[in-house]
Amino acid sequence: MSPLKDVAQYVRSKAAGPFWVTVDIFCGDAETFERVRKAPSLSGSAVAALYGVSNNAVKVFEVPTLNVVKISFPRREPQGSAHDADSHAGQFFVPLLDAQIP
Amino acid sequence: MDAGSTDSGPYYLGAGVSKMTRKAVKRDLRQLMIGRAKLQVPLLVGSCGTSGTDAGVDWMAEICAEIAAEESQTVKVALLYSEQSPSVLSDYLRKGAISPLSPADPLTLERLQSCDHVVALMGYEPYAAAIEAGADIVLGGRTTDTAVIAAVPLMRGLPVGPTWHAAKTAECGGLCTTRSRQGGVLLTIHAEGFDVEPLDADNSCTPWSVSAHMLYENSDPFELREPGVILDAREAVYTPLDARTVRVTGSTHRLMPYTMKLEGAGAAGFRTMVFSAIADPKILANLDRFLDNLRSYLNGSIASVLGYQADKYDLDIRAYGANALAQPGASPPVSTPAEVGLMTLVTAPSQEVADEIAKFCNPILLHFPLDPDDPMPSFAFPFSPAEAQLGQFYEFRLQHVVAIDDPLELVRFADFTVDRGERHVAA
């Protein structure tokens, strides 16, 4: 097991409109992509628990041509609402860096 | 050229003001207008004034007229307004023509009327109509990022899927290149697809840099929803033509019922902030307990001294340096921070009440002890006065689409001509 930060090439997050966040995990090569896409720590339910959103709201996309796993979910606090601390969702990827990848 | 975004939050739409300063916008628009006059091509600017309200279009029109006069240009300028009044939209709501997008609930009249400004995102059609009517420059209200780029190719009959894909690729300029800060790109759309190359000779587009841009700020990596159409890039093939140019073929589209996305923001109170900081290692080693005690002491005192119950205001104390950006399911940090900045954010129904609560918190934030018997501490305040008014606070309230029969039915057109420094409105 290794944390995602030691496995992936680059991880980023960004708002996709005021109500959604999208996280792109660039794996770098096909072998790493296989490891990352199968990781239970990046399943829809694991991501939902991490970000405090409902299970069925999380969409996980596999983009094999880019060796990318893309995760999108509605944000718990809409952009700019009273308790939102990250308008652009630019730092949302950080807790995923510790996700354990088999 | 796309001049707007919701990225910086609901304030700009709610208040109807630009995020960018007038001088910076004027500098950029001047360059574009000088270029347009040389090339004699239409200049299209979407989402004027950040949020694309009517006031944003008028603001940009005034800047444009000033530049035309200063540069001695004779230009015909079309204005496209797509701000919507709640009374017009309430008719569509009654007809059942407004539907929610995930994760929103169905729209209610009350929620619609609670918005200070509502804009509908235009597609390419109003731009095409303005160009056909002879406009040199089109200044539009809220528009999808891609529609301003797609307008001319689509009105000339170029293939639909490749055009929207090309527009998505270039929407953020150089972001689809290997050196994203080194200027924009040139698109060539043709019968087979499109080619994309950077403007800067030292920059390059690669199949990877171009295909990866479909991911950017889009919740779906394969599809992009636009008014009346979905771009499907699943089968797209990215081929290098040379070391810096990529050809994209195989992008397809599906026609959909015509809808415009609605964005709306409404006022939700006023805010005042206090910022203070703690470096005392004893407090920082027990920060969660300290903050729990502080919050409950403040809430209790605000009720007993000021007479405001907790449902009348919001008090949010954020520990920057400790966990202000933490997500609910993330593991707590293992080490003790060296310093923590406390942002105390008060939201209340009026600026006076927000200020009053913040001023009341001030001495407590300065001297609150970890344990009742501790000698009185004093924490670090960087400002005098300690309170900073953040003014009116807005929320995004719409995540809906309105179904329409004609792409122009919710768009209002105006135009003017600048000739020898004079602005003339057409009769």
Interface test with B, best of A21, A73, A81, A100 (most B CBs within 10 A): A81
Q: Does A89 touch chain B (CB under 8 A)?
A: no
pLDDT of B420 reads 83
Residue B210 is predicted with a pLDDT of 95
pLDDT the model gives residue B234: 95
Of A63, A72, A82, the CB nearest to B314: A82
B218 contact A CB<8A: yes
Tokens of B81: 């307004």
Q: Closest-CA residue in chain A for B266?
A: A81
pLDDT by residue for chain B (427 residues), tens only, comes to: 899 999 889 999 999 999 999 999 999 999 999 999 999 999 999 999 999 999 999 999 999 999 999 999 999 999 999 999 999 999 999 999 999 999 999 999 999 999 999 999 999 999 999 999 999 999 999 999 999 999 999 999 999 999 999 999 999 999 999 999 998 999 999 999 999 999 999 999 999 999 999 998 899 999 999 999 999 999 999 999 999 999 999 999 999 999 999 999 999 999 999 999 999 999 999 999 999 999 999 999 999 999 999 999 999 999 999 989 999 999 888 889 999 999 999 999 999 999 999 999 999 999 999 999 999 999 999 999 999 999 999 999 999 999 999 999 999 999 999 998 888 886 5
Condensed to tens digits (0 to 9), the pLDDT of residues A30-81 reads 999 999 999 999 999 999 999 999 988 999 999 999 999 999 999 999 999 9
Return the pLDDT at B421. 82
Across the interface, whether the CB atoms of B316 and A82 are under 8 A apart is answered yes
Out of A24, A83, A88, the one facing B316 most closely (by C-beta) is A83
Pairing state of beta strands B137-140 and B43-50?
A: parallel
Q: Choose the mutation target among A58, A62, A66 for the interface with B, i.e. most B CBs under 10 Å.
A: A66
Q: Which residue of A has its CA nearest to B218?
A: A16
List Cβ neighbours of B94 (8 Å cut-off, separation of 6 or more).
Answer: none
Please state at what angle helix B287-301 crosses helix B351-367, rounded to 10 degrees. 130
DSSP A9-69: SEEEEEESSTTEEEEEEE-SSHHHHHHHHH-GGGSHHHHHHHHT--GGG-EEEEETTTTEE
A16, A18, A52 member nearest B327 (Cβ): A52
> Which tokens in the block code for residue B291?
């903050």
Q: Does A45 touch chain B (CB under 8 A)?
A: no
Sign of the CA dihedral running A80, A83, A86, A91: negative
pLDDT number for residue B426: 67
Q: How far is residue B169's CA from residue B164's CA, in Å, rounded to a whole number?
A: 9
What residues in B contact A93, CB-CB < 8 Å? none
Say what the pLDDT of residue B8 is: 87
CA A43 from centre of chain: 10
CB contact under 8 A, B329 and A87: no
SS3 A94: helix
Task: Quickly list H helices, B16-77.
Answer: 22-39, 54-70
Stretch 264-303 of chain B: residues touching chain A, C-beta under 8 Å: 268
Q: How does strand B98-100 pair with strand B422-425?
A: unpaired
Tell me how far apart the alpha carbons of residues B373 and B377 are, in angstroms, rounded to a whole number.
11
Tell if the CB–CB gap between B327 and A87 is shorter than 8 Å.
no
Q: Do B330 and A95 touch (CB under 8 A)?
A: yes
pTM greater than 0.90 (yes/no): yes
Contact B9 A79 (CB under 8 A): yes
Q: Across the interface, which of B208, B221, B396 has its CB nearest the CB of A61?
A: B221
Tens digit of each residue's pLDDT (9 = 90 or more) over B19-37: 999 999 999 999 999 999 9
Bridge-partner residues for B380, per DSSP? B277
B8 and A24 within 8 Å at the Cβ level: the answer is no
**Would you call A81 an interface residue with chain B, using a CB distance cutoff of 8 Å?**
yes
**Three-state DSSP state, B259:** strand
Going by C-beta distance under 8 Å and a sequence separation of 6 or more, which residues neighbour residue B363?
Answer: none
The answer to whether the Cβ–Cβ distance between B216 and A14 falls below 8 Å is yes
Q: If you average pLDDT over residues A6-25, what whole number do you get?
A: 96
